[in-house]
Structure 1
Amino acid sequence: EKGTWKIKEKYIAKKEVMVVRNPETGKGTVYVKVADFLGPEWVEKQALTEEQIVEVAQVGAKIEEHYGWPQDIEWAYDKDDGKLYIVQSRPITTLKEEVKTEEAEMTEEMKVLLKGLGASPGIGAGKVVIIFEADEIDKVKEGDILVTTMTNPDMVPAMKRASAIVTDEGGRTCHAAIVSRELGIPAVVGTKEATKVLKDGMLVTVDGTKGVVFEGIVKKLVEKEKEEEAKAKVIGGGAPLLTATEIKVNVSMPEIAERAAATGADGVGLLRAEHMILGIGQHPIKYIRDGKEEELIEKLMEGIRTVAEAFYPRRVWYRTLDAPTDEFRNLPGGEEEPEEANPMLGWRGIRRGLDQKELLRTEFKAIKRLVDEGFTNIGVMLPLVSHVEQLREAKRIAREVGLEPQKDIEFGVMIEVPAAALIIEELAKEGIDFISFGTNDLTQYTLAVDRNNELVAKLYDETHPAVMKLIEYVIEVSKKYGFETSICGQAGSDPKMARKLVRLGIDSISANPDAVELIRKVVYQEEQKMMLEAARRALRE
């Protein structure tokens, strides 16, 4: 409790593994089992003293006060000197600014059932419905709490009906987190045991800001949420700040186009194809081979048109299909999908698009027709490019349907694979209008870290020097060849990364809808600083 610093609640987690200095070399770290290293009693024993808990809270409050925004703080106690060290602090971007300093008061009747990561802010309350497969989504009715191991694109119709989402697995960049934020639905991910602890029919309240699931309908939280929503509608945001760096928005589903456009974003830095294509409820290749290509083209046109119209004349960059094989396999007609050991490193993105040209051709046909309708604000970007030949072949297929890259539409590539960053000059010579950094994949491919694996997730860092060097190199090359640079990964919603990117000279930053306003403020402040610094240098000279 702020002010009195009284500890109101404690949650002691199981500690199965720990990181220690390598005992053999004295350098670096290794993972060891807590039971073996400290003794079995430490697995469920309180790790911090009462005094240390209070000290962490007091220091955290000072840091929050200093920055004027809630912080995600990493800290550590040194076992030798007993001192508290702050390792890192960065703003939390998923909180509503109006409620940033307010917290719902915990009371005795608010029984905590689960804790996880708060992936999408807000409060949701309702009846629990547990599903494991996409063919169960009809069980989820309007206002239910969807509980599952991990969501996938096939579950999006059910996610739209849910008042909140809770998963066993996942981190802040997983499918459930990304889609929930765009839909504005509260979500708690990575609880480990939601599908075991919760039961069908239970009434629960989900706090997507704090990452907590409470037993029953907590009226005070639900009512508070309604009050805040009403306030937000009345207050409004005013005219957006003007920045040299464009602030764009990521859009996964056409249904949120109006909401995304209302953020005042300068365009769409990423329009995902997955939900539009997988939303047909059947494997797209089967759809085409069954003679339904025209229907698929119409569905794609409808989805893309909705977004392009909402933002016109602001630009909308459409990313061609990038669904891994495990997401296709669950669809009717997906029985022949290959079983891959690691789908994220497998048959996806442009590599699949060039193997199954009929689907890529269908996407280009839809865009061609929209351009003919007058939607000249649409651009295309290719995912998971790692070879110049992939860009060349994709352009050839576009021309086959009468779509001339870099003339009829802007044509670009995603920089998600380190190889793409390292051959950026060759890609530029082949001809591109823009690139966009897909930092979710670029980070995990550069660091060899699965971002959804909780054992190594702490090593996942978009600002790692290796990742930043790749980004910096591509931006440098862009100035030489004249193509635009942007970012559309989760890092684009991180103020710390936004400041670094502005300093590097990126042309635009595409953020999640809930982070657009904050990122614009951060970019504006950083640009003002840079102008002042330049003015001071000029005076000194």
Structure 2
Amino acid sequence: KKVEEEKKAEEITIEEQKTTEEETEKTSAEEGSDISNANVLVTGNTASPGIASGIVKITNDVNELSKVQKGDVLVTKMTNPDMVPTMKRASAIVTDMGGTTCHAAIVSREMGIPCIVGTGNATSVLKENTMITVDATHGKVYEGKIAIKKPKQAEETKEVYSELITATQIKVVMDFPEYAEKAAATGADGVGLLRAEHMILGSKVHPAYLVKQGRKQELIDILVKGISTVARAFDGKPVWYRTLDAPTDEFKSLEGGSDEPEEENPMLGWRGIRRSLDQPGFLRAEFEAIKKVHEMGLKNVGVMIPLVTRVDEVRKAKEILDDVFDDEYVEFGVMIETPAAVWVIEDICKLGIDFISFGTNDLTQYTLAIDRNNDLVQKHYDELHPAILAEISRVIKICKKYHVQTSICGQAGSTPKMAAFLVRQGIDSISANPDAVHQIRHTVAITEKRLLLDAERRNLRPQQ
């Protein structure tokens, strides 16, 4: 009877088995067929692993988002901040465009929603209102509904990993305060990157417009609510808030965003700290929000500025921060996302910072001259490229000289190979996606143990 029930429940079974350094997966099929007999409709890149079935809802315009109901599969060319509420309702997400560090990838990973990006043709091949199964772990979309048996060892392995203690802190990357408790439950040692974009963009009003209209307090209230929610969830652990870094194309749909400039390449345009210094009103508002959070007794929140290319940018931002906080201490750091920051890091350290964090999504993009949102060049997007590793190694070495903490908050931090490399370089902390915290902690624990054993062996060698 048990066998009959299992056959009825499972058309196709996908079993996943985790090993020390990588995840291997075995696939088998019931009823005399294997996975090759299933009809693959489209393929793409894994952005957020997992498997889900649902009804296809194709959205080509923001006005079509309301048709996506809870449990449907969102299929679109590329997601943007306007789609976040819709993404939360979806059981899975499939896009035509984008790479593994695009908006859809970043958001879906935090939400824990299976996501495939860069299919090239999902919106034209998949049919509206049809049932599909998204196997995001393997980057495949199948026709029909497929019952999946989850790996039996997953939860047991997670419990073992969570008990590990490492010298290198393992933190999380966060966008949405409402997921703070869930992220804290991973046992992470803090938040290595708390992005401001979705807190602000969720208000549907341009931050500069709020300040211009004399409504700065509204902006501060929005930020205080979001930041304090995360700070409470991680009470006693560091939370590093990154000031606003949203390209101009993400601001256009907001109230007051009609004056946003047209840019040929927003990724290389008016964004990050360069924009914040041009419009210091909302940068000051962000700092005032953090001060308010400190006054609430949540002094574990620090601040870091994005897309630094010049020492003077750090100096000016620091001056505004000092003016807001007076003599009160607040951790202050910078993102290392550009080759320029790599080469001026010593001067930045001399200026006086507490920490740096590698934003490898952009550092890889700018170093390798690859658009990280372009699926056509994803095969060349390599965070483990020798040039990237050399940049990271150089910065860590210099920061140690000046007693500046080092961390990473890009997608590469969720990669075991990168984590092992970073530990060998002596990084202080690694920030990973919430679903990767346990795996990265395990990798770090093994690497640290190997380093200790290697050192001990060297000490035991006979002196010549």
- TM-score norm. by structure 2 comes to 0.90
Determine the structure 2 residue equivalent to 1:279.
202
Which of residues 183, 188, 193 is equivalent to 1:260?
A: 183
Q: Structure 1 residues 477, 114: closer, same or farther in 2, change over 3 A?
A: same
Does structure 1 residue 116 correspond to structure 2 residue 39?
Answer: no
**Equivalent residue letter for 1:183:** M
Pairs within 5 Å for 1:24-103? 68=19, 91=22, 101-103=25-27
Determine the structure 2 residue equivalent to 1:251.
174
- Mapped contact 1:287–1:293 kept (Cα < 8 A): yes
Q: Structure 1 residues 390, 133: closer, same or farther in 2, change over 3 A?
A: farther
Does structure 1 residue 484 correspond to structure 2 residue 405?
Answer: yes
Secondary structure at the counterpart of residue 47 of structure 2: strand
Which deviations, in whole Å up to 9, do the C-alpha atoms of 1:503-541 show, x marking residues without a partner?
A: 111111111111111111111111111111111111114
- Mapped contact 1:132–1:149 kept (Cα < 8 A): yes
Pairs within 5 Å for 1:125-274? 125-218=53-146, 220-221=147-148, 224=149, 237-238=159-160, 239-274=162-197
Cα distance in 2 for residues equivalent to 1:477 and 1:437: 14
The range that moved more, 449-458 or 171-180, is 449-458
Cα distance in 2 for residues equivalent to 1:514 and 1:118: 14
Secondary structure at the counterpart of residue 241 of structure 1: coil
- Per the TM alignment, residue 399 of structure 1 is displaced from its structure 2 partner at its CA by 2.9
- Per the TM alignment, residue 297 of structure 1 is displaced from its structure 2 partner at its CA by 1.2
**Equivalent residue letter for 1:103:** T
**Equivalent residue letter for 1:279:** G
- Mapped contact 2:28–2:35 kept (Cα < 8 A): no
Determine the structure 2 residue equivalent to 1:414.
335
Secondary structure at the counterpart of residue 166 of structure 1: strand
Secondary structure at the counterpart of residue 124 of structure 1: strand
Identical residues among aligned pairs (%): 59
- Mapped contact 1:353–1:359 kept (Cα < 8 A): yes
Secondary structure at the counterpart of residue 509 of structure 1: strand
- Per the TM alignment, residue 179 of structure 1 is displaced from its structure 2 partner at its CA by 1.0
Which deviations, in whole Å up to 9, do the C-alpha atoms of 1:249-303 show, x marking residues without a partner?
A: 1111112111111111111111111110111112222233333322221111111
Which deviations, in whole Å up to 9, do the C-alpha atoms of 1:355-378 show, x marking residues without a partner?
A: 111111111111010001111110
- Mapped contact 1:364–1:403 kept (Cα < 8 A): no
Determine the structure 2 residue equivalent to 1:469.
390
Q: Which has the larger radius of gyration?
A: 1
Determine the structure 2 residue equivalent to 1:493.
414
- Per the TM alignment, residue 68 of structure 1 is displaced from its structure 2 partner at its CA by 3.2
Q: Structure 1 residues 403, 132: closer, same or farther in 2, change over 3 A?
A: farther
Cα distance in 2 for residues equivalent to 1:274 and 1:459: 28
**Equivalent residue letter for 2:287:** F
Which of residues 448, 453, 472 is equivalent to 2:369?
A: 448
- Mapped contact 2:306–2:334 kept (Cα < 8 A): yes
- Per the TM alignment, residue 108 of structure 1 is displaced from its structure 2 partner at its CA by 8.0
Cα distance in 1 for residues equivalent to 2:178 and 2:326: 27
Determine the structure 2 residue equivalent to 1:527.
448
Cα distance in 2 for residues equivalent to 1:285 and 1:485: 32
CA RMSD of aligned residues (A): 2.2
Which deviations, in whole Å up to 9, do the C-alpha atoms of 1:367-414 show, x marking residues without a partner?
A: 01000111111010000011111111112222333355xx52100000
Secondary structure at the counterpart of residue 241 of structure 2: strand
Pairs within 5 Å for 1:431-442? 431-442=352-363
Which deviations, in whole Å up to 9, do the C-alpha atoms of 1:173-223 show, x marking residues without a partner?
A: 2111111111011111111111111233222221111112122222x23xx
Determine the structure 1 residue equivalent to 2:10.
none
**Equivalent residue letter for 1:385:** V
| Count of aligned residue pairs for this structure pair | 442
Pairs within 5 Å for 1:270-349? 270-349=193-272
Cα distance in 2 for residues equivalent to 1:242 and 1:234: 17
| Runs of 4+ that moved beyond 4 A | 231-236
Cα distance in 2 for residues equivalent to 1:247 and 1:415: 19
Secondary structure at the counterpart of residue 165 of structure 1: strand
Unaligned runs of at least 5 residues, structure 1: 1-63, 70-89, 93-99
- TM-score norm. by structure 1 comes to 0.78
Determine the structure 2 residue equivalent to 1:81.
none
- Per the TM alignment, residue 458 of structure 1 is displaced from its structure 2 partner at its CA by 2.0
Q: Structure 1 residues 452, 376: closer, same or farther in 2, change over 3 A?
A: same
Cα distance in 2 for residues equivalent to 1:306 and 1:262: 14
- Per the TM alignment, residue 233 of structure 1 is displaced from its structure 2 partner at its CA by 6.4
Cα distance in 1 for residues equivalent to 2:223 and 2:209: 16
Cα distance in 2 for residues equivalent to 1:408 and 1:135: 46
